[in-house]
A and B are shown apart, each in its own frame.
Chain A
Amino acid sequence: MKLFSTTCLALTVLATTAYADTCATGKTLTDGKLTIATGNPAYYPWVMDDAPESGQGFEAAVAYAVAQEMGFDQGDVVWVRSSFDEAIQPGAKNFDVNIQQYSITPERDQVVDFSKPYYTAPMAVLVGPGAVDTPATMAALKSLQWGAVGSTTAVPKLDKVVQPTKAPLLYGDNADVNAALSANQIDGALFDLPTALFLSAVMIEGSKVIGQFAPDSGDNPDQFGMLMEEGNPLKECVDQALDALGENGTLAKIEAQWLQDTTGVPLIQ
C-alpha cells in the first residue's frame, strides 16, 4: 500500500513538472515546438555547413540556448529557411522567430518585432587582391571603388560614414559581392566582422580585412536581434531568455567559442 501511494505521488509530481506552463506555452505556431527560420544558405560562422540542426555555429548555438531557456528541448526545435523578403512581408509567417544577422533599425521595428540584441557586430572592410595595401584610414577608404549587398545596413553606413567619391555598386547577396571582388570590379566591401573574416579566409583569394569601424564612428554599431511577426506575444519570452543567458554568461561563452578570431583586426582611424 505504501509502495503504491508513493509511486502514485511520484508519478503525479513527474506529471505536473512535465506539463508545467512555461512562458512560451500556447504562443508558438505548433504547440510544443519552436519553429526557427534562418537564411538559405546559412553561412559560417553563424551556422556551420549550412546545417543549423547540428547546433554548430554562433547563431545555431544561440538559438538552441534560447530555446532551452524557454523550455524547448533540442528535439522540439524545427528549422525552416526564409529570405529577408518573406520575413518582412505582411501576413502570417511560417516561423516563430527568424535568426539571420538581422540588424535592429527603427524603421524595420515598425513593421516587425525584434528581440533584445544578442550580438553587437562591428562593420569591417574587406578589400580585394588589388587593394590590400590600402591603409586603414578614412581618407584612403574614400577613394576606393566600393561594393555592398544592397539589402544590408552596410549601404547607409557607406553613405554616412565613409562617403566615397565614386558611387558604390550594389549586389543581391554575398556571393555576388565576392564575384565582383574577384573580378576586380570593386576594391572593397563592407561586411560585419565575422562574415568579413570568413570571406577573406575562405572565399576570395588574396583578399584581406584591413580594418573595422570603431563603435562610436558617427553611427550606431549594428545590433543583431531575432526577428518576429509584429505583435508576437513570444517576444517577452525570448527577451526573458536572452536576459537570463546574458546574466549567467552563456551568451558570452557562445560568442567566445564561435567568434573568437574577431580580435586582432585594427580599428580604422
Chain B
Amino acid sequence: MTRRQMYERHQRRKSITIATVSTAVAILCLYVFVPMTPGWDKVQKSFFNWEVLQKTFPKLLDAFVVNIMIFAWSAPAIAVLGLLIALARNAKSPAMFPLRILGAAFTDVFRGVPVVLTVYLIGFGIPGLGLPRPWNSPYLWGSVALILTYSAYVAEIFRSGIDSVHHSQRAAALSLGLSERQVMRDVILPQAVRNVVPSQMNMLIALQKDVSLLSFIGPVEIFRQAGVFKSLLANFTPYVGAAIIFLVITIPATRYADYLMARQMRERR
C-alpha cells in the first residue's frame, strides 16, 4: 500500500467513526431528554400508545386498501390526461389554437385551486345536479377531482420535458422527411418522457398521500378510519399508525425515485 492510500484509508475510518459517534449522541440525547419534559407521559399516552396501536392497526390496514384502489385507478388516468394536455398546449398549427387556450386555462385553474376545494366542489357539486346512482358515487367524482388536479401538474412536467429535448432533434427528424405527428410520436416524446420520469415519480408519491382528501366526501379510507378511532378512543395514536403505513409505502417509492434521478445524472455526464 502506498503512503497516499494509507493516509486516505485513515481519513475514511476517522470520518466514519465521527459520523457514527455524533449520530449515536444525537439519538441518545433525544432518548434521554425528551422523556424529561413535564408533559411526556401524557403525550406518550395520547400519541404513542402501544395498546391502541395494536387494537386499531388491522382496521387501518383494511382502510388503506381503499387508498390503494383509488390510487390504482387514478394514476393511469392522470398520466394519459396529463400527456394529452401537454400536447394540446404544444399544438403548433393555427387551427389548433383553441386547444392551446383550453390547455393553458386547464393548467392555470387546476394548479391554482387547492385540491380540497376541487374535491368538495366536484365531489358534492356534480352529484348534487341530480345524477342517479351509481353515477353520483363519491368515489367516482372524488377521483375525477384528483385526476383533473394532478393532470395539470403532470402536464406541466411533460411540457418541460418536451421543451428540454434539443431543437436539433426536431430539425433532424423534419429534414429526414418525417411528418409533424411522426416527429412528436417517434422522436420527441420518447426522449421527453424518459427525461421527466424522476419528476413524475415525485407526483406519484404526492398522489399517494392526496388520495386521503377523498375522506372529506365520504369514502372510509385510512385518514377517516384513523379519525373515527381518534374520536372513539380519545387518542391520537391511530394517526401515528396511519403515518407508519404511509411511510412503509412511500419510502421505497422515494428511494426508487432518487435512484432514477441519480442514474439520469450519471448518464448525462
User: Which one of B215, B224, B235 lies within 8 Å of A111 (CB-CB)?
Assistant: B235
By a beta-carbon cutoff of 8 Å, the part of chain A in contact with chain B is 84-85, 88-91, 105, 107-108, 110-112, 147, 150-153, 155-156, 167-172, 176, 179-180, 182-186
CB of B127 within 8 A of CB of A184, answer: yes
CB of B234 within 8 A of CB of A186, answer: no
Nearest Cβ distance between residue B61 and chain A, in whole angstroms? 16
* Chain A hits for B39, CB < 8 A: 90-91
* Chain B hits for A155, CB < 8 A: 228, 231-232
Residue in A closest to B40 when the chains form the complex, CB atoms: A90
* Chain A hits for B118, CB < 8 A: none
CB of B234 within 8 A of CB of A171, answer: no
Residue in B closest to A168 when the chains form the complex, CB atoms: B220
CB of B232 within 8 A of CB of A147, answer: no
Classify chain B: how many residues form its interface, as a range. Answer: 20 to 34
Tell me, yes or no, whether B110 is within 8 Å of chain A by CB: no
Tell me, yes or no, whether B82 is within 8 Å of chain A by CB: no
User: DSSP majority for the A interface?
Assistant: loop
CB of A89 within 8 A of CB of B138, answer: no
Tell me, yes or no, whether B57 is within 8 Å of chain A by CB: no
Tell me, yes or no, whether B198 is within 8 Å of chain A by CB: no
A88 to B145, CA, bound (A): 33
* Chain A hits for B45, CB < 8 A: 90, 111
CB of B128 within 8 A of CB of A105, answer: no
Q: Given A111-B235, A150-B224, A180-B138, do A186 and B218 touch, yes or no (CB 8 Å)?
A: yes
CB of A90 within 8 A of CB of B43, answer: yes
A88 to B216, CA, bound (A): 21
Of all A-B residue pairs in the complex, the 4 with the closest CB atoms, nearest first, are A169-B218, A151-B231, A90-B42, A183-B127
CB of B234 within 8 A of CB of A108, answer: yes
